[in-house]
């Protein structure tokens, strides 16, 4: 039996889906978090024995007429796949609007059960809803639910009503509609009878006062910067580091335990593969797990409280200036967790150029995997300053703006679109929900570390252990290994960026498989097992050591960081870009663009940084300048051509009119 969850955006469909199925799908206190349908079996504690109830979570929709793509996913599923029962989630705090979709669903000849969700919030506001009157007028069962609660939440009653509805079907239809105006007339009358409100929603509330500050034209930006800085301080300087210290201790212990288990008799090549390649490499990556978990925890709290929608309001006018809209902020913010769901959520953008541009620029936001690279370089070269991470986030945002501006010029497409977004109410974020979501992500991270990253590290280790004649490389000549000889030609290209060493080149390449690999490969190629100082919480002393081993200046380290963050993302994210852009030309252009921008940026950071710190430009300045000039020239030519195209188009329109 198939049950569909349908309702307005942000009415709590995914929260209910998670509660009923035990899954851990992404939720957030804003519209448009779910962009794809998701299916799972309802937990056995809710379902009668022997019955397999499949629940389908659909993206939110305000109506069955389609405005956005994710709304059409909901519509198409309901019309084409005909679920046995629809659970229509109605937001009790916004009864009137929600019932518009409800009445449309009632006309489909599919049994409907209404879940009156967020009833606790409605009661807190002093609103009283007459459930019996509602049920009688709509002629469907109405069940009050609070899916954020773990007990007394109405969910068992809801499933019972669903099963009954399936058995008996829907007896009669509500005969109210000839057109949508009549629909609203019916709803307005129904709500007038069934709902008693203490306060009109038109009145100013405390929430509006808070909005005036956090979404203020100018104050909004420093507030956002402060919030991100705080998040980084907590995750990378205070709590995260404290936890990481414990964690790395365990990894070191497991390293020693395996070493003693292997004993002296094991083949040294095999032992090195296991210890330095696998445990060392994977351990180096896993070591950053606590930092990443704390960051995700903070971000989950931020998303849950409703602040992110305000960020979209603050940023809208900047996005407008570069030809995007506030809608593009959602993918960018989701991209701070992982670029793939971020890119997928560009589906909510209707304008095709804006959608493709956003999909192309979303990977500029440092994702969770890139965070391990940031944490490594911040720790080793910059004494764990939270400004490193914060500035990388803001650099990411700036690149999104600049990138959008360039792409608009290249395409010559100056179309505009309206921006409208619901502002969810603020609420106190749930620590429990944040913890559940963080552990879900931690699990995914560990699985990734134990599979892709483990294999990559093992391969990297083997390639650097042997030369082309399959002889073990002498310790004094590591540059004769297969890995070194493959990476060396690439490393030459990186000389003008300050890190022309084969180890860094190899790490940048494995980074395309998964960005965590950058850390793993550096650990393996430089034979470092511990990026954290065990003796002290501060990384300073141990950091200096690691810095000497890596053998590059802080400026070059920053350039390398910038290079890894702002060149193309991992292959999985490129795949997501491909499917959302639906154009080979755009994909190739996007990758070339990202490569060009990453290279140019790293060059500027290294050469200017070196000029400021030492008084003269760095190595390979001339050659690098040549390459960067070529990149910039290409952009300029393409932009000129795009602008011309735009001018021709507008003049053609002028002639026509």
Binding footprint of other proteins on the chain (CB under 8 A): 62-63, 65, 67-68, 93-97, 100-101, 180-181, 184, 201-202, 204, 207-208, 211-212, 215-217, 220, 309, 312-314, 316-317, 320, 325-326, 350, 416, 418-423, 425
Q: SS3 sequence, 36-94?
A: CCEEEECCCCCCCCCCCCEEEECCCCCCCCCCCHHHHHHHHHHHHHCCCEEEEEEEHHH
The minimum distance between CB 297 and other proteins, in angstroms, equals 27
The minimum distance between CB 190 and other proteins, in angstroms, equals 13
Residue 62 vs 439, nearer CB to other proteins = 62
Residue 159 vs 329, nearer CB to other proteins = 329
User: What angle is formed at CA 97 by the lines to CA 124 and CA 28, rounded to 5 degrees?
Assistant: 65
Q: Is the dihedral of CA 449, 452, 456, 459 positive or negative?
A: positive
Quick one: tokens of 555?
């400026």
The minimum distance between CB 78 and other proteins, in angstroms, equals 16
Residue 11 vs 449, nearer CB to other proteins = 11
Rounded CA separation 306/598 (Å): 33
Quick one: tokens of 607?
């050469």
Residue 95 vs 562, nearer CB to other proteins = 95
**Under a CB-based contact definition with an 8 Å cutoff, are residues 171 and 139 in contact?**
yes
The minimum distance between CB 220 and other proteins, in angstroms, equals 6
The minimum distance between CB 42 and other proteins, in angstroms, equals 29
Quick one: tokens of 466?
């042997």
**Which position has the token pair 């929430």?**
207
Q: Cα dihedral angle (634, 639, 642, 644), rounded to 10 degrees?
A: -110
User: What angle is formed at CA 337 by the lines to CA 25 and CA 534, rounded to 5 degrees?
Assistant: 115
The minimum distance between CB 245 and other proteins, in angstroms, equals 42
The minimum distance between CB 82 and other proteins, in angstroms, equals 23
Residue 425 vs 479, nearer CB to other proteins = 425
Longest dimension (CA), the chain: 87
Q: β-pairing, 195-196 with 142-144? A: unpaired
Quick one: tokens of 478?
């590591």
The minimum distance between CB 542 and other proteins, in angstroms, equals 44
Residue 21 vs 325, nearer CB to other proteins = 325
The minimum distance between CB 65 and other proteins, in angstroms, equals 5
Q: How many other C-beta atoms can be found within 10 angstroms of the C-beta atom of residue 266?
A: 14
Residue 173 vs 212, nearer CB to other proteins = 212
DSSP 27: -
Residue 313 vs 365, nearer CB to other proteins = 313
Distance of CA 333 to the CA centre of its chain: 6
Residue 10 vs 391, nearer CB to other proteins = 10
The minimum distance between CB 134 and other proteins, in angstroms, equals 15
The minimum distance between CB 208 and other proteins, in angstroms, equals 6
**Residue whose C-alpha is closest to residue 22's, from 55, 49, 51, 48:** 55
Rounded CA separation 40/23 (Å): 8
Residue 211 vs 245, nearer CB to other proteins = 211
Rounded CA separation 574/359 (Å): 10
Residue 419 vs 621, nearer CB to other proteins = 419
Rounded CA separation 533/544 (Å): 10
**Under a CB-based contact definition with an 8 Å cutoff, are residues 611 and 617 in contact?**
yes
Q: Cα dihedral angle (195, 198, 204, 207), rounded to 10 degrees?
A: -80
The minimum distance between CB 316 and other proteins, in angstroms, equals 6
What CA–CA distances, in Å, run from 46 to 52, 115, 162, 624?
A: 11, 15, 11, 64
Q: Which helix (H) or strand (E) holds 232?
A: helix 220-232
- The separation between the first and the last C-alpha atoms of the chain, rounded to the nearest angstrom, is 57
With a CB cutoff of 8 Å and minimum separation 6, the contacts of 114 are: 88, 90, 102, 134, 135, 138, 140, 141, 142, 143
Quick one: tokens of 497?
């960026």
Residue 220 vs 598, nearer CB to other proteins = 220
The minimum distance between CB 418 and other proteins, in angstroms, equals 4
Q: How many other C-beta atoms can be found within 10 angstroms of the C-beta atom of residue 139?
A: 14
The minimum distance between CB 148 and other proteins, in angstroms, equals 19
Residue 420 vs 654, nearer CB to other proteins = 420
Residue 151 vs 200, nearer CB to other proteins = 200
Distance of CA 107 to the CA centre of its chain: 37
Residue 12 vs 569, nearer CB to other proteins = 12
The minimum distance between CB 104 and other proteins, in angstroms, equals 9
**Residue whose C-alpha is closest to residue 449's, from 367, 516, 371:** 516
């Amino acid at each position: 039996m198939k049950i569909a969850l349908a309702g307005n955006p942000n009415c709590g469909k995914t929260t209910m889906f998670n509660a009923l199925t035990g899954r851990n799908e992404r939720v957030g206190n804003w519209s448009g978090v779910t962009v794809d349908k998701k299916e799972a079996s309802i937990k056995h504690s809710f379902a009668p024995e022997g019955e397999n109830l499949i629940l389908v979570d659909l993206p939110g929709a305000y109506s069955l007429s389609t405005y956005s793509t994710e709304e059409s996913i909901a519509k198409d599923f309901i019309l084409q796949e005909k679920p046995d029962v629809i659970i229509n989630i109605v937001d009790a705090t916004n009864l009137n609007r929600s019932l518009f979709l409800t009445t449309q669903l009632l006309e489909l000849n599919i049994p409907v059960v209404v879940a009156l969700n967020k009833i606790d919030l409605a009661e807190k506001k002093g609103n009283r809803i007459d459930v019996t009157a509602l049920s009688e007028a709509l002629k469907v069962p109405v069940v009050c639910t609070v899916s954020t609660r773990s007990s007394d939440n109405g969910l068992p009653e809801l499933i019972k009503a669903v099963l009954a509805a399936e058995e008996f079907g829907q007896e009669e239809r509500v005969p109210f509609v000839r057109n949508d105006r009549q629909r609203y007339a019916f709803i307005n009358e129904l709500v007038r009878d069934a709902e008693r409100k203490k306060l009109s929603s038109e009145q100013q509330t405390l929430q509006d006062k808070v909005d005036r500050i956090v979404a203020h034209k100018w104050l909004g930006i420093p507030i956002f910067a402060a919030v991100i800085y705080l998040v980084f301080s907590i995750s990378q300087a205070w709590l995260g580091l404290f936890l990481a210290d414990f964690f790395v201790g365990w990894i070191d212990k497991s390293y020693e335990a395996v070493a003693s288990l292997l004993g002296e008799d094991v083949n040294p090549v095999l032992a090195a593969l296991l210890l330095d390649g696998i445990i060392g490499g994977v351990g180096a990556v896993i070591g950053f797990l606590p930092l990443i978990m704390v960051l995700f925890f903070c971000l989950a709290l931020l998303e849950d409280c409703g602040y992110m929608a305000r960020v979209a309001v603050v940023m809208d006018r900047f996005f407008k200036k570069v030809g995007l809209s506030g809608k593009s902020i959602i993918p960018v913010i989701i991209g701070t967790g992982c670029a793939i769901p971020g890119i997928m959520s560009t589906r909510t953008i209707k304008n095709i150029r804006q959608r493709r541009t956003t999909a192309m620029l979303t990977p500029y936001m440092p994702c969770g995997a890139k965070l391990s690279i940031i944490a490594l370089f911040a720790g080793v070269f910059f004494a764990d300053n939270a400004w490193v991470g914060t500035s990388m986030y803001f650099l990411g945002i700036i690149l999104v703006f600049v990138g959008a501006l360039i792409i608009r010029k290249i395409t010559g497409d100056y179309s505009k679109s309206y921006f409208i977004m619901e502002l969810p109410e603020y609420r106190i974020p749930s620590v429990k929900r944040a913890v559940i979501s963080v552990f879900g992500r931690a699990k995914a991270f560990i699985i990734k570390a134990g599979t892709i990253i483990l294999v990559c590290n093992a391969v990297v280790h083997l390639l650097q252990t042997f030369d082309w004649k399959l002889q073990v490389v002498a310790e004094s000549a590591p540059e004769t290994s297969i890995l070194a000889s493959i990476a060396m030609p690439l490393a030459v290209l990186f000389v003008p960026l300050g890190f022309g060493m084969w180890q860094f080149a190899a790490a940048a390449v494995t980074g395309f498989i998964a960005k965590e690999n950058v850390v793993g490969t550096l650990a393996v190629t430089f034979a470092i097992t511990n990026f954290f100082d065990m003796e002290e919480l501060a990384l300073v002393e141990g950091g200096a050591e690691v810095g000497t081993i890596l053998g590059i200046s802080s400026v070059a380290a920053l350039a390398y960081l910038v290079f890894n963050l702002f060149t193309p993302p991992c292959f999985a994210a490129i795949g997501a870009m491909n499917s959302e852009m639906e154009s080979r030309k755009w994909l190739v252009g996007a990758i070339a663009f990202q490569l060009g921008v990453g290279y140019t940026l790293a060059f500027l950071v290294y050469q200017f940084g070196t000029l400021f710190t030492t008084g003269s430009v760095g190595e390979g300045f001339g050659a690098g300048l040549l390459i960067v000039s070529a990149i910039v020239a290409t952009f300029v030519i393409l932009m000129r051509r795009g602008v011309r195209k735009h001018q021709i188009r507008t003049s053609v329109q002028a002639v026509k009119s």
